[in-house]
Amino acid sequence: MHLKIRPLHEKFGVIVKNINLDKVTKKNLYPEIRELFEEHSVLLFKNQNFSEQAHINLAKLFGPLENREAMAKNSPIPFQLPKVSNQNGEGRVFEETHMRMLDLKGNMLWHTDSTFLPIPALANIIAAKIIPSTGGETELASTRLPIKNLPNGILEKIKDRKFFHSFVHSRKQIDPSLAKLNKISRWKPQKWSSIIENPVNGKKSIYIASHAYKMEGFSKSKSQKIINEIIDFATQKENVYTHTWQKGDVLIWDERSILHRGRPWPYQEPRTLASICVSLSPEDGLSNVPKSEFN
Ligand SMILES: [Fe+2]
């Protein structure tokens, strides 16, 4: 079966039509969805009535669920579906100065999820739950595109080198006290190849994020300049897809080839996205990724 698609952005991504994600299984529709994912990097599904269990089931087809608590404590702690939300447990919104809000603001830097973890992410599968009246968009940009025309000889500089990634580094840019929280500071910096080759189609992308702070063989300041230049180049306006969330939307993006960021919204309004990252497996194209132990 061939899924019906149309372009999401002129340069990457597709909208997948007439599909009920509740019905996807390993044999039914997943192979086609995975093929589209490898090729186009971003998939949008509209009008989904997506239960939490269906969300988890779909994510598991892509690979091991990212379970940060289990990873941090090196023990099989049960998975809990992560929510990107400004609501506390009682349904009230956090004050703008609350650490949780500062953490959400960290997501507004261009980034790739989980590059600071010992096992980074393959994909994010994200579903809109509560949408504000305005704002709160998610913006996406491909890191396959800039590899073809990066200026100033940058490609030569980064080729065959690794970037160091740290959660503390990106959170420090928002507020130094945020970076000191255990859930941030517990992660040691990680080192990953600057370029990933997709093992299915050979397409290359730059593996970068606001968490990246140093490149092998370069000073921190020189590295940061290069990192900023790459991110600025990749996220030029014409290369960015802005997703305005609607109820029923499910987005899947490839963490190996997509940078993303959240956008602000009126913080007196709630906004909740359910977001499951799937961990990279050794066969997904990034060298030195260990195998997830707990899924
Ligand atoms: Fe993110």
Q: What share of the chain is helix, strand, coil (3-state, %, to 5)?
A: 30, 25, 45
10-residue averages of pLDDT along the chain (295 residues): 91 96 95 97 95 95 96 92 89 89 94 97 96 97 92 93 97 94 96 96 97 96 97 97 96 98 95 96 86 71
Strand 14-16 to 42-45 pairing: parallel
Beta bridge partners of 206: 195
159 C-alpha vs ligand 1 centroid, how far in Å? 25
Q: Does a structural domain hold residue 294?
A: no
Question: What's the pTM value of the predicted model, to 2 decimals?
Answer: 0.95
Nearest CA to 187 out of 242, 265, 119, 87 is that of 119
1 C-alpha vs ligand 1 centroid, how far in Å? 32
107 C-alpha vs ligand 1 centroid, how far in Å? 6
DSSP per-residue string spanning 147-161:
HHH-STTHHHHHTT-
85 C-alpha vs ligand 1 centroid, how far in Å? 12
Q: Does a structural domain hold residue 87?
A: yes
277 C-alpha vs ligand 1 centroid, how far in Å? 9
> Where would I find the H helices in the chain?
30-40, 52-62, 68-73, 99-106, 146-149, 154-158, 167-172, 176-179, 182-185, 220-234
17 C-alpha vs ligand 1 centroid, how far in Å? 25
4 C-alpha vs ligand 1 centroid, how far in Å? 28
Number of domain units in the chain? 1
245 C-alpha vs ligand 1 centroid, how far in Å? 15
Alpha carbon dihedral 217, 220, 222, 225, in 10-degree steps, equals 130
- CATH classification at residue 43: 3.60.130.10
Q: Does a structural domain hold residue 239?
A: yes
- Residue 24 confidence (pLDDT): 95
For the chain, the distance separating the N- and C-terminal CA atoms, rounded to the nearest angstrom, is: 30
- DSSP state at residue 25: B
110 C-alpha vs ligand 1 centroid, how far in Å? 8
The CA distance from 271 to 250, in Å, is 15
Q: Does a structural domain hold residue 16?
A: yes
Q: Does a structural domain hold residue 37?
A: yes
261 C-alpha vs ligand 1 centroid, how far in Å? 6
- Residue 4 confidence (pLDDT): 95
Q: Does a structural domain hold residue 206?
A: yes
55 C-alpha vs ligand 1 centroid, how far in Å? 17
186 C-alpha vs ligand 1 centroid, how far in Å? 18
Where in the sequence is the domain holding 142, given as residue range(s)? 5-284
Burial 34-44, CB ≥16 within 10 A → b, else e: bebbbbbbbbb
Q: Does a structural domain hold residue 83?
A: yes
112 C-alpha vs ligand 1 centroid, how far in Å? 6
Tokens of 254: 């490839």
170 C-alpha vs ligand 1 centroid, how far in Å? 12
